[in-house]
Chain A
Amino acid sequence: MTEEREHPIDDLAAYSLGSLEAPEARHVEHHVATCTACGSLLRQYQSVVGTLPLGLDPVGPPPEAWPAIRRNVQGRRYATNERIKVLAGWRRVMWPAMSALAGLLLIWNVVLQVELTRRPPGPEVEALARRPGRLVILTGTGTPEASGRLLVAIDGHHGHLAVAGLSPLPPHRVYQLWFIRPGQAPLSGGSFGVDAHGRAWASITVPVSLDETREIEITEEPSPGTVAPTGKPLLAAKAWR
């Protein structure tokens, strides 16, 4: 590699005149960042270039130039002062305003949480009920206040179960969904728990065609579920559409 390639001497001169293309200029900047000799030479070139206007025949500036600059500066200073005043005013009210906003957000959040806990899952069930497929309405047998909806998709294999009114269970107990077929062993549709309000929402796989099913039941079983129902039916359905 030559000395010229190592130190971009020609480009230093052109750089100090601002006449390099952008990539070459970047190369010079990278080089002088680490090369003391070139950095020093560049500063000398730049100082020399800074004196070039002195070689021109001097021309006096128009007399109206300075008054125009001064008027503009005064205008800017006025605008700056106005901005400072506005900023100061804003700072005075900023913390009370931010506190009020934070308080409103907190109240709104609490109201929203209360509203969510009060809402039954009805709308979701209604929305699902409008989907094509079959709807099974489970009614409370062992637990009269309980109710449930089993929505089976048109393919007959997938569905959603929504229940309400069941009691929350201890950790070692679950609720289990059963499909009872005539003359055959019941088939499990899965187990689930309910929330503190006695509600549950579960996606299930239907193990058998509803046409071959005589009854659908929900029982309480030991966790994680059993192969056959051992508890009494809490919810049950014998007909569906």
Chain B
Amino acid sequence: MRTWADDPKGPADIDLLHQVQLGDESGLEGLYARYGGLIFTLALRIVGDPELAREVLQDTFLRCWDRSDTYDAARGRVAGWIMSIARHRAIDLLRSRPHQARLREQEELTGAVSAAIPSGTTESVTMRQTVASALRGLPMSQRQVIELAYYGGLTQTEIASELGVPLGTVKSRTREALERLRTVLWPVIEQPQEAPEGRD
């Protein structure tokens, strides 16, 4: 089954990853064309520095190349695997810097990131709009805990300390936020696309 992340005109993600596993550089190039922009965007959002974000982008694809055999289809899709590598690498970089400085950098970054990116396929543009809309639909208090956790790499305890609210409040806000997002996004994520059998 294809997903929102796959380009209907190109090979499925899993096929590109198989090419990578066989040492075929064009497989990596295909994945880069599909996810390079998204990973750079994510990395920039997390680390707040274009140079560091480029480092994260390069590290992510080199890790895909070196460790393509560690991908386990049972634990999620290729897109999620790559994004997870990128996020962990970015958060590792972020944690290596002073906490206050990284928060300041992220505040300064807000609104500064708006350079152009290729528009992508119709499916991916639609998905972007859906996700952005779903996030905008969250109450500020819920969006805040999601962003501090996902982009800030903070634990629930650290978020509670950062916001000055009880840990239980952070946990319930996190759960409510993800429940709302799941209600909106899960049907879209799971919506089957027209594609040949056996594809990711």
Contacts and interface: CB of A to CB of B under 8 A. Distances in A.
B171 A69 contact: no
Contacts of A238: none
Given A59-B113, A59-B117, A50 B25 contact: no
A46 B81 CA distance: 11
Contacts of A61: 36-37, 39-40, 54, 57
A19 B95 CA distance: 13
A56 B114 CA distance: 9
Contact of B87 (A18, A43, A56, A74): A18
A48 B83 CA distance: 12
Interface string B52-76: 0010011001100110000000001
Contacts of A44: 182, 186
A115 B37 CA distance: 75
B175 A48 contact: no
Given A13-B174, A51-B127, A55-B132, A69 B156 contact: no
Contacts of A45: 178, 182
Interface string A1-18: 000000001111110111
A65 B40 contact: yes
A47 interface: yes
B171 A50 contact: no
B189 A51 contact: yes
Interface string B93-123: 0000000000000000000011111100000
A48 B179 CA distance: 10
Interface of A: 9-14, 16-21, 43-62, 65-66, 68-70, 72-74, 76-77
Classify the interface of chain B: helix, strand, loop or mixed.
helix
A66 B32 contact: yes
A60 B150 contact: no
Interface stretch (B9-17, B41-49, B192-200): B41-49
Contacts of B44: 59
Nearest to B127: A54
Classify the interface of chain A: helix, strand, loop or mixed.
helix
Contact of A58 (B23, B37, B62): B37
B171 A66 contact: no
A48 B185 contact: yes
Given A60-B115, A60-B118, A73-B28, A50 B79 contact: yes
A56 B37 contact: no
A14 B116 CA distance: 32
Contacts of B113: 56-57, 59
A144 to B, nearest CB: 79
Contacts of A16: 178
A89 B28 CA distance: 30
B131 A51 contact: yes
Contacts of B189: 47-48, 51
A48 B135 CA distance: 11
B76 A47 contact: yes
A13 B156 CA distance: 11
B50 interface: yes
